[in-house]
Structure 1
């Protein structure tokens, strides 16, 4: 995702501001304002969360736990440092209860100070050198994470083989997908730039628009109305849920669906889809099972590093889901690189010229047009005569 151009500054040794506290980073970024201090609890800070923090432009980020645990070389901390946002790491669990929304603190190296100068929490100020060392150590253990990923993949295959191989359990929906191209939007990696690059494709082919949780809001922000929304319903706004799209609630394998409770409170109804994997997997399986001609994915996870960066054992399901849908699935980046609108600029110029020629011809065939044409020709002759006299 291409982040907005920010005015780079040399990272100050001391910054201060109001505190925003939340264990869920994606919830915190919704209310975080520029210059405020984000207090998070996010082990192995991933790229998507870090990019959301950068967009909010906080004065600093304080993590109660380690931003790099050593499991694998995660991408988030580097994004914060590149944006010159101070990162205070591993200040301890107590900070989540000791700090409250609206408190004012000052960051001084690795310490959080209250307005009276007392130390509220203390951790480690992340520097490029310290981060480079942590990431180098994390790369050593990457093989163990790949092995664990493979084990999780086999576990998922055993648990969901009927759904994965035969489509058993896919719910009935009213939205017609058979034979259509489907654009699946997840609010993940590079989703804004991908959607922008696909505008010509969307305008010309008019694919069915499927938003996965917050991806539905991403479609709305880009000026599109989603046809179908699928997910836990915890990351989409009330506005998009009320947009008229069909709602499919991703439920636990045992049938529990907390998202249905939210829909009920809003006076809405949804279809339940029990599945073990992630919501983006459920979206792909639903579209494929209902006969989609092509799946174009925006913001989804495509590489092994991205699967690990998500930090979920359930990401193994995404690997198998992509094998299931096979050649139907195209990443948005690939579409934007190979697709070009079939309407060229010279086509439009030729069309306009042809229309003008036809209009002029039609006008000349009428009495009024003939009179106007004779008048124009007379004026042209006058101009030519005047030019001739001028130079002779």
Structure 2
């Protein structure tokens, strides 16, 4: 569905949004180098929630999309997040913008027009909360078609990775002890920061095996937890995380090609290969399950059908089968944060300390020796107050 194009008008009183242009056809790569006030130029059909949240967190002044941010295939979540955050979003300007604008150019977004110097270099459709809401409502009618495609992709994944799903064939050996323990898998996806905060007490008390999926390893480090295992393509995880001492599992293609291994070799780091058709978060769940995890807690992963579709690729169908394979072991972090409460609450510790202090003072006051000690403490306290007052007189 192509969004309606607005009439070309140039505002004489409103100069628009001025900023430095940052360009990349992969939004995930672009967000790593964005600075507050930049104008992000992307090519992202059906902008997903995770990418939109990353753009908001980077503090961009505006977003210009070469493709439609919401095509009508399904009600994707990204455009609503941007416009709700007050970030101007101009859609469907065409791929020519990447040839007309260079990295670091100063550009101005004036309504639907992107201007460099005095020349208009791109023109698109301005998205507002009203247009996004209407497009999302219209897109819900297309969910049936997307569901059929999703089911077909799911069956294709089952055909390719049946041995892995049913029998665990191809799962590598690991040094980390997982048998009988809880495993916390962190994906830098939906609400991962909030979930990690909510699970702090759980992590301290149960000490689960911490698994970071690509950038999820950096999310753990940001939350001041050290990952035990890092799983993924190794394309969106920092060198700092890779060198933290975690065991490294490279997600490879089914034919054995593992581009992430080249990066680890350059860093002088050892790793193991896990070849699978699905996503890296699937690989992490299958690894934990096959090694005997008692419970798998997922942070930032995909949960609903819209979230699966919002992943934006056919491989997302593997998540559905992986969750069926793992079964009752898998618990979403939000469920844990609602059900789990630390056995010892902070207010209970404070009340215990207060009660103990009161009991100690009462015991002192009931004995001659204690009364003498209290008298000495009172004298010292008066001396301290007298000395403090002397500083100001």
Give TM class, smaller chain: 0.7 to 0.9
TM alignment of 1:1-392, pairs within 5 A: 14-115=16-117, 117-345=118-346, 347-349=348-350, 351-352=352-353, 356=357, 371-374=369-372, 376=374
CA distance in 2, matches of 1:59, 1:353: 51
Identify if the C-alpha distance between structure 1 residues 76 and 245 changes in structure 2 by more than 3 Å, giving closer, same or farther: same
CA distance in 2, matches of 1:59, 1:284: 37
User: In angstroms, what is the RMSD of aligned CA positions?
Assistant: 2.3
CA distance in 2, matches of 1:297, 1:187: 11
Q: How many residues are matched? A: 365
CA distance in 1, matches of 2:351, 2:113: 67
Report if aligned partners of 1:13, 1:109 keep a CA contact under 8 Å in 2.
no
Q: Secondary structure at the match of 2:241?
A: helix
Identify if the C-alpha distance between structure 1 residues 371 and 128 changes in structure 2 by more than 3 Å, giving closer, same or farther: closer
CA distance in 2, matches of 1:321, 1:374: 71
Q: Secondary structure at the match of 2:31?
A: helix
Report if aligned partners of 1:17, 1:106 keep a CA contact under 8 Å in 2.
yes
Deviation at 1:18, TM superposition (A): 0.7
CA distance in 2, matches of 1:55, 1:376: 56
Structure 2 gaps of 5+ residues are: 1-13, 379-393
Q: Secondary structure at the match of 2:230?
A: strand
CA distance in 1, matches of 2:347, 2:211: 34
Identify if the C-alpha distance between structure 1 residues 165 and 123 changes in structure 2 by more than 3 Å, giving closer, same or farther: same
1:290-343: per-residue Cα shift (whole Å, max 9, x none)? 000100000000110100011111111100110111110000000000111100
Identify if the C-alpha distance between structure 1 residues 28 and 361 changes in structure 2 by more than 3 Å, giving closer, same or farther: same
Mean CA deviation greater in 341-350 or 83-92: 341-350
Report if aligned partners of 1:187, 1:299 keep a CA contact under 8 Å in 2.
yes
Mean CA deviation greater in 339-348 or 217-226: 339-348
Match of 1:387 in 2: none
Q: Secondary structure at the match of 1:218?
A: helix
Report if aligned partners of 2:178, 2:209 keep a CA contact under 8 Å in 1.
yes
Match of 1:4 in 2: none
Structure 1 gaps of 5+ residues are: 1-11, 381-392
CA distance in 2, matches of 1:59, 1:344: 42
Identify if the C-alpha distance between structure 1 residues 357 and 312 changes in structure 2 by more than 3 Å, giving closer, same or farther: same
CA distance in 1, matches of 2:370, 2:100: 85
Identify if the C-alpha distance between structure 1 residues 370 and 83 changes in structure 2 by more than 3 Å, giving closer, same or farther: same
TM-score normalised according to structure 1 size: 0.88
Deviation at 1:58, TM superposition (A): 1.1
Report if aligned partners of 2:21, 2:38 keep a CA contact under 8 Å in 1.
yes
Identify if the C-alpha distance between structure 1 residues 360 and 146 changes in structure 2 by more than 3 Å, giving closer, same or farther: same
Report if aligned partners of 2:91, 2:124 keep a CA contact under 8 Å in 1.
yes
CA distance in 1, matches of 2:301, 2:26: 20
Identify if the C-alpha distance between structure 1 residues 210 and 262 changes in structure 2 by more than 3 Å, giving closer, same or farther: same
Deviation at 1:99, TM superposition (A): 1.3
Deviation at 1:29, TM superposition (A): 1.0
TM-score normalised according to structure 2 size: 0.88
CA distance in 2, matches of 1:132, 1:191: 25
Deviation at 1:237, TM superposition (A): 0.3
Mean CA deviation greater in 51-60 or 289-298: 51-60
Q: Secondary structure at the match of 1:70?
A: coil
Deviation at 1:375, TM superposition (A): 5.3
CA distance in 1, matches of 2:50, 2:79: 11
Deviation at 1:379, TM superposition (A): 10
